[in-house]
Amino acid sequence: GESVGLHLPTLSVQEGDNSIINCAYSNSASDYFIWYKQESGKGPQFIIDIRSNMDKRQGQRVTVLLNKTVKHLSLQIAATQPGDSAVYFCAENRRGGGNKLTFGTGTQLKVEL
């Protein structure tokens, strides 16, 4: 069925290294994508979004890349810090999908000192 999914359930990186979190989606009608960070006991926190008419967008220490050909997006975190430790979700909204966000299963990012 249609889905938004993540490749890796857990990613461990050393402090200061760059992190790359991946997400695959299956519906070619998906046209808006959001990355959320969820810390323990908190709600999803907006990080960055990208529309399907773009292939790259940069924020503060974060970059999202979108490859529509293979239906894949990634979140790159530069100089990963201990405070980046959390679960990261990609979510998508699709044309004709109303306002519903469909979330992926999440990747746990662990930053090792």
Residue type, 82: P
Under the criterion CB under 8 A, does residue 50 sit at the interface with other proteins? no
From candidates 41, 53, 83, 113, binder to other proteins by CB under 8 A: 41
Task: Report the residue from 49, 65, 76, 78 that binds other proteins according to the rule CB under 8 A.
Answer: 49
Task: Check residue 104 for interaction with other proteins (CB under 8 A).
Answer: yes
With beta carbons less than 8 A apart as the criterion, state whether 36 and 43 touch: no
Verify binding: residue 97, other proteins, rule CB under 8 A.
yes
What would the two tokens of residue 106 be?
A: 């999440």
Contact pick of 88, 93, 107, 111 for other proteins (by CB under 8 A):
93
* Distance of closest approach, residue 25 Cβ to other proteins, in angstroms: 13
DSSP annotation of 62 reads E
Q: How many angstroms separate the CA atoms of 111 and 113, rounded?
A: 7
Does 88 help bind other proteins (rule: CB under 8 A)?
no
Pick the binder of other proteins from 66, 73, 77, 101 (CB under 8 A): 101
**What Å distances lie between residue 69 and 33, 47, 65, 73, 77, CA to CA?**
15, 24, 12, 11, 23
